Structure 1
């Protein structure tokens, strides 16, 4: 998006080497930090580090309850929802023309965007939850000893409802595979918005460069 002049702001929890928290992460968890490197101008990156820092270090300090699935103050879900709310709060003065968000982290920001008349693009990286849950339930029945590894089966009704609300608020949906796109047929009433497929393994270089190579 930045390469094509489409990125006004980039919100995340931590970024490699950006700000005090990014430098702290690089110093104490180099491997984790390397996965959070973004090739963007620092002025576009907006950090919201608090809960994610706690999530990174709580288990090492014997505070696993803080990262318990969904309910923990620094669980993945709570970190992501906190980031979502931060984006929602930033939108009124952001001067942007649209919002691009990912599954499980879009409800608050899409709600705020709708009030401002901004279009919302939704990235669905894996199968829509209703189909995905059916498949996982079948696998759990076939291999009971694996059931504990299928964390999505523990998702609360509130989390699942939130996923549907995000989809309902989206103006366009981006999927990474044909399977993911087709899984949206399980959405109640069907999907009445544009669905785009950006396949896995897309060229890392712009297509015009690929043609000239």
Structure 2
């Protein structure tokens, strides 16, 4: 019934595949690199130098449905490993992420002509990798399903453009303004061709209000939570400093300036750990802030979950986020989250029941919420336990099931 295309295959793609396969709705999956348990590629991935392959591992029963086109993605990985930065430069590098997406997109379009995919009724493709596939799908009378994982670009430029003017010292970290006019036009053309649009948060849906034209129906299906933690302990209210954690790219898109400012004003009442790579070198206020706190540039995913369990609260005051998987990761570990209305927070969190929502871009709002927890630290445990209960109700299998059900429903209607 469906051909799903994506160059890398992250967690939400894998869950979508699982949901479609379990409902006998998946005809084919096209990606760049795919490893399967027991395969030669899987064994190579056990070698430390090639551990990136492990992130491209899929369930064994998908093997016969999977088509791979590895050349561009392998080039990107090799160029990145040897720091051949000109080859992976934004848009223009031979092996840039943009070119990898378009490579898979072009071959997916060709598959619609060359491959005999019996029973194919629809294609499901993701932002920046759907244009050629959709054009051919239109000619082939196939339903065109579009996944937008992050907010619409015009809304991003409007909201973060204001932030650039307000915080010129942080403007260098806001990298979303580098997209060429050609790339932005491709994004709009993908949206124009889509017959149904799938997003993971109400905020992402709202950003599409700035699209200059009529849009297909938009379906909000939030992502999900990892397996909940066992053995989370909460410190007594009298313990002392509040242990705060930030996880994410060190860009003001994620609200890192607000985190640093809020914590600065709270002095010895809190301690902050920051996990994330710099978006760019040379941001003076960021460099100054990192010197004052514990900074870990990168950690394996499992270690991040362990670190979440060790902290009292996750701070994620993002200014523009399609979802924010760190929110669900922290909640699954029993660590409540302070986040904003420009993430999936409003879809997952009831304020002061299983976490807290503050105004995006407001240092004062973030500080006030932290101060409330300093004055009533018992709220951390009650909200943390409630966050885990929320996580129990929405495992990744539920996301896959809901997505597959909605896809089958819209295909039948078409």
Whether TM exceeds 0.5 here: the answer is yes
The residue that corresponds to 2:219 in the other structure is 196
Q: Is the 8 A contact 1:103 1:163 kept in 2?
A: yes
Compute the displacement of 1:184 (Å). 1.2
Structure whose alpha-carbon radius of gyration is higher: 2
Q: Which residue of 1 is the match for residue 197 of structure 2?
A: 173
- Superimposed CA distance per residue, residues 150-202 of structure 1 (whole angstroms, 9 cap, x where no aligned partner): 222100000000000000000100010011111111110242x2111101334
Match for residue 51 of structure 1? 72
Contact 1:14/1:21 (<8 A) preserved: no
Are residue 99 (structure 1) and residue 123 (structure 2) matched? yes
Residue 16 of structure 1 corresponds to 35
Specify every segment of 5 or more residues in structure 2 that has no aligned partner in the other structure, as ranges: 1-19, 225-393, 402-414
Deviates more, 1:1-10 or 1:98-107: 1-10
Q: How does 1:120-131 map to 2 (within 5 A)?
A: 120-131=144-155
Counterpart position of 1:37 = 57
Equivalent residue pairs, number? 206
Contact 1:174 1:196 in 2 (8 A): yes
Measured against aligned partners, the alpha-carbon deviations of 1:44-102 in whole angstroms (never above 9, x if no partner) come to: 11111111111111133242100000000100000000000010000123332110000
SS in 2 for 1:2: helix
Instruction: Tell me: CA distance 1:25–1:133, structure 2 relative to 1, closer, same or farther (3 Å).
Output: farther
**Which of 389, 397, 401 is matched with 1:205 structurally?**
397
After TM superposition, the score normalised by the length of structure 1 is 0.88
Taking the aligned partners of 1:169 and 1:101, their CA distance within structure 2 comes to 12
Gaps of 5+ in 1: none
For 1:73, the equivalent position in structure 2 comes to 94
**SS of the residue 2:22 aligns to:** coil
Which whole-Å deviations, capped at 9, do the CAs of 1:76-134 have from their partners, x for residues lacking one? 00000000001000012333211000001000000010000001000011111110121
The answer (yes or no) to whether the contact 1:51–1:74 under 8 Å persists in 2 is yes
**3-state SS in 2 of match to 1:10:** strand
**Structure 1 CA distance for aligned equivalents of residues 43 and 105 of structure 2:** 23
How far apart, CA to CA, are the structure 1 residues paired with 2:153 and 2:144? 20
Aligned to 1:3: 22
Spell out structure 1 runs of 4+ moving beyond 4 A. Answer: 17-26
The 1:54/1:23 distance shift into structure 2, 3 A limit, reads farther
